Structure 1
Amino acid sequence: MARKPKPPRIGRRATLFQRLRSDFLTGLVIVAPVTLTIWVIWTAITFIDARVVPLVPAAYNPATYLGKNIAGFGVVIFLLFTALVGALTKGLFGRQLVRWGESLFDRTPIVRTIYNAVKQLIETVLNQSSASFQKACLLEYPRRGIWAVGFVSTDTQGEVPVKIGRQDMVSVFLPTTPNPTSGFLLFVPRADVIFLDMTIEDAAKLIISAGLVTPPTKEEIAAGRRPAPARKNQTKP
């Protein structure tokens, strides 16, 4: 009499390879950001040192007396020089000198385009009061029934609401995943926007992780616990 085949075991323990793979991915989430951060900082320090230190007179260079270069010395000189330039431009003579230099750049065709673009970019990044977003929000995009996370930058002003014929509009930046630095600028009626309680940082994490990192709700924060991780769909045998 033939034996009946045994039914497959449900909930089998993970194999050694699966456990190693899980441990590797868990460690990679911790090691990769730290390693990349250190690499970026060290690369920036090396880049600045290589270009600033040769400009320092030998009498003021510690390498002359120690026999070796000090990492970060060029960064310190660069920071002090930048602060000195900023202090000088606050005076009347410094402002006049800056205006003269900008007028000289404005008269040069190619230099004018590059200088204005770089200046506008730096001013936008450093000016936190005008560049920071107000709230994270939900809006239906690219069609009704599909929701996307965006950032409300400000109330829409100028010609746009006048041409549209309504004043209750907000300017929303809709970032892309996983690179939130690129995206779309949308002018949306305020009634079509749902404001979220999560912070801008939590919303950015949600976008960058493609929904894998979900911030807790207000109720979960008040209870002092994180939301339960999402379960993977399992097919029935």
Structure 2
Amino acid sequence: MKKYIITGLLVWLPLAITVWVLLWVLGLITSVFEALLSALQAVAPLSLHNNLEALRHVPGLGVLILVAALLLTGVFVANIFGQWWLRQWDRLLSNIPIVKSIYNSVKQVSDTLFSSSGNAFREAVLVQYPREGCWTIAFVTGRPGGEVAEALPGEHVSLYVPTTPNPTSGFFLMMPRASIKPLAMSVDEALKHIISMGVVAPSTPPDPARNPKGSADPKGRSNQPG
């Protein structure tokens, strides 16, 4: 009976966690949507209050409005006129104390992460952390620049070392390029390996260059033909 219960748990657990994450995201979007409706009710005429209140009970309306707003924003800023307004908006927020520090920092990070020409989180590597002899998976986020780069001898790379099982928190490291080992696996496979605490093995086939013909594989079997 214990074996069957564990088997059933393994079947339903991924689905339950997926549904839980989706419900959390939906609840967050719904909360933002309700806050916007409350702000509109505060400034709208009394004759429109009932109509705005009815929108609260429409399921999925907040998600549809969010997707539509993102789509329209993308279309708007894709032309010269929209880019001009975007520059004015950035200039306005950059002149507000406290707000400018948060806004500029978040904007630089988001532009780096989501840029199609950027190299952030495009490469998974092996590094020795937190001490020599202990290896973990990290992601290359770029190269040190400015005063930091001048203070570091040789070529260094910026790394993000995620924690397990929550990869959204981690550590930022700057290490010599020669001290890291590139991996053939994709970033998605590396994340699965990290989140599962090593239980889910990467599906990337082994690199023949790392296991030359005639050498033994990790299970001790020879690669010689026959």
| TM-score of the pair, normalised by structure 2 | 0.66
2:65 is aligned to 77
Equivalent runs, 1:165-184 vs 2, <5 Å = 165-167=153-155, 169-184=156-171
Question: Which residue of 189, 203, 208 corresponds with 1:216?
Answer: 203
**CA distance 1:103–1:172, shift in 2 (3 Å):** closer
1:111 is aligned to 99
Percent identical among aligned pairs is: 34
Deviation at 1:141, TM superposition (A): 1.9
2:174 match: secondary structure: strand
1:172 match: secondary structure: strand
Runs (4 or more) in structure 1 with deviation over 6 Å come to: none
In angstroms, what is the RMSD of aligned CA positions?
3.7
* Conservation of the 8 A alpha-carbon contact between 1:137 and 1:196: yes
Structure 1 regions of 5+ residues with no counterpart? 1-15, 221-237
1:42 match: secondary structure: helix
- The size of the alignment, in residue pairs, is 198
Determine the C-alpha separation between the residues in 2 that align with 1:30 and 1:111. Answer: 40
* Conservation of the 8 A alpha-carbon contact between 1:171 and 1:188: yes
1:215 match: secondary structure: coil
Deviations 1:133-156 (A, max 9, x none): 232111222222221211123345
Structure 2 regions of 5+ residues with no counterpart? 208-226
Deviation at 1:125, TM superposition (A): 4.7
Determine the C-alpha separation between the residues in 2 that align with 1:155 and 1:107. Answer: 29
Determine the C-alpha separation between the residues in 2 that align with 1:33 and 1:133. Answer: 25
Deviation at 1:174, TM superposition (A): 1.6
**CA distance 1:27–1:160, shift in 2 (3 Å):** same
Deviation at 1:88, TM superposition (A): 4.3
1:218 match: secondary structure: coil
Question: Which residue of 3, 18, 22 corresponds with 1:34?
Answer: 18
- Which protein is bigger by CA-based radius of gyration? 1
* Conservation of the 8 A alpha-carbon contact between 1:174 and 1:185: yes
Deviation at 1:204, TM superposition (A): 1.0
